[in-house]
């Protein structure tokens, strides 16, 4: 049986993101090597990986080779930095699906996937989940977490929004399953 994995904002080939996210790598080459190793040590060929945007800052030909080298059937939930390489039809062929928004079900639980955080996502007060990226580990992420707490206090219900940015401790630059994200997130906050 294959697994489903999730990850956002790898930014392969993006040197500036190392400092921006405080990723702790000495070079873009080191970052890319570690992320690729963790990906391929976790994901098997028949697994699905949902990439919630901003996969690569590499030139088109290098992005094509990178995507080919990553295990799994890849589904891209487009981010704000993905359109430039998607002009290359050979890159588009590497993905099982490319979309801006996706809904999945796990044991009858709705999971909403989008690169961008959506505080009022579908069924947000009725047990649904939302995985997102885009805000990295910035003040915008803190604003999302503060908004989530305020909505929970007001409504008296849990709001199940999870940032799956690769740079966050619960992700550790590794694609994670639904269950891993929910469990590991508890220890991040």
Check if the beta carbon of residue 23 is closer than 8 Å to that of residue 169: no
Per residue of the chain (189 residues), what is the pLDDT tens digit? Answer: 699 999 999 999 999 999 999 999 999 999 999 999 999 999 999 999 999 999 999 999 999 999 999 999 999 999 999 988 888 999 999 999 999 999 999 888 999 999 999 999 999 999 999 999 999 999 999 999 999 999 999 999 999 999 999 999 999 999 999 999 999 887 665
The pLDDT of residue 188 is 62
The pLDDT of residue 1 is 60
Check if the beta carbon of residue 113 is closer than 8 Å to that of residue 131: yes
Beta strands (DSSP E) in the chain are: 4-7, 48-51, 73-77, 95-99, 101-106, 109-114, 129-132, 160-163
Check if the beta carbon of residue 103 is closer than 8 Å to that of residue 42: no
- First and final C-alpha spacing in the chain: 32
Q: At which residue do the structure tokens 């991040």 appear?
A: 188
Nearest in space to 14 (alpha carbons), one of 93, 80, 69, 107: 80
Give 109-122 pLDDT, tens digit per residue.
999 999 999 999 99
Q: What Cα–Cα distance (Å) separates residue 74 from each residue in 27, 47, 85, 114, 117?
A: 26, 9, 15, 15, 21
Q: How many angstroms separate the CA atoms of 99 and 154, rounded?
A: 33
pTM of the entire predicted model: 0.95
């Amino acid at each position: 049986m294959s697994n489903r994995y999730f990850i956002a904002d790898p930014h392969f080939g993006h040197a500036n993101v190392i400092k921006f996210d405080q990723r702790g790598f000495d070079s873009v080459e080191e970052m890319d090597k570690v992320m690729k190793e963790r990906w391929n040590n976790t994901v098997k060929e028949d697994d699905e990986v949902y990439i919630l945007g901003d996969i690569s800052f590499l030139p088109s030909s290098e992005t094509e080779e990178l995507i080919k080298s990553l295990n799994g059937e890849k589904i891209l939930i487009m981010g704000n930095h993905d359109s430039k390489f998607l002009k290359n039809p050979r890159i588009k062929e590497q993905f099982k699906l490319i979309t801006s928004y996706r809904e999945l079900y796990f044991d009858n639980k709705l999971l909403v996937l989008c690169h961008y955080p959506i505080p009022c996502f579908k069924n947000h007060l009725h047990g649904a989940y939302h995985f997102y990226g885009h805000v990295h580990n910035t003040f915008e992420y803190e604003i999302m977490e503060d908004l989530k707490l305020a909505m929970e206090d007001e409504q008296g219900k849990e709001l199940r929004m999870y940032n799956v940015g690769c740079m966050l401790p619960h992700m550790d630059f590794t694609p994670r399953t639904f269950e891993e994200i929910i469990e590991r997130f508890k220890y991040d906050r």
